[in-house]
Amino acid sequence: KLDPLSYTLFVAPTCLLVLLVGNAVTWDPAIPASLAHWWPYILPNALLAFVLNILVASIIKEISAVGFILAGVCKDIAIV
């Protein structure tokens, strides 16, 4: 079994590959300029996404995948 950080480091390159393909398909030359303008918002967002991935892996390790899905269903029911 993998610990949460190892799992995240194992999955991250696959996610990067998918995002790079999508970026190559929809590339616009204005993207670097927008990145320079929005970087104070993009950096915390990326860090928060990384922490969320680690938390998801930790929760799945502790309560199993079925428990994680059931918790998600209960959350969706509570939201609606």
The tens digit of pLDDT for each residue in 14-50 reads: 999 999 999 999 999 999 999 999 999 999 999 999 9
Q: What is the pTM of this model?
A: 0.72
Digit-coded pLDDT (tens) for 55-73:
888 888 888 889 889 988 9
Cβ(8)–Cβ(57) below 8 Å: yes
Burial class (CB in 10 A: 0-12, 13-18, 19+), 76: exposed
* Interatomic CA distance for residues 36 and 50, integer angstroms: 21
Max CA distance (Å), the chain: 45
